Amino acid sequence: MTNSTRVASAEELESVFQQELSTNRWAAAESAYALAVRHREAGDWDKSREWVHQCLRLLEGFPSDTEEQVATTRVSVGGVALPNYLHEGVVRDRFGENL
């Protein structure tokens, strides 16, 4: 998705996620976070939870010792604002401990 400010549908975001999964796992984690937010906003709690888990699984593969290591590379994905830093603590803070 070249225009990061355009509001994309969940289906478009899922397509982007699938492409990123094989080429850029960090971007895929950012997209999974965006999908979790998008589904939560739509009231689809089960789908949101699935994407939160996908995001957390992807984040497990990255170091998180410094701010530089967890800094997001984009401001938004498909119209969903990303946090400045993406790591397990941020995700759990935004979506709750009991995922």
pTM for the whole structure: 0.91
Confidence of residue 6 (pLDDT cuts 50, 70, 90): low
Distance CA 81, CA 98 (A): 23
| pLDDT higher than 80, residue 93 | yes
Q: How high does pLDDT run on average in the chain?
A: 92
Looking at residue 2, its pLDDT comes to 47
Looking at residue 48, its pLDDT comes to 96
Tell me the C-alpha to C-alpha distance, in Å, between residue 80 and each of 2, 13, 14, 27, 43. Answer: 14, 10, 13, 14, 15
What tens digit of pLDDT does each residue of 39-75 get?
999 999 999 999 999 999 999 989 999 999 999 999 9
Distance CA 6, CA 18 (A): 19
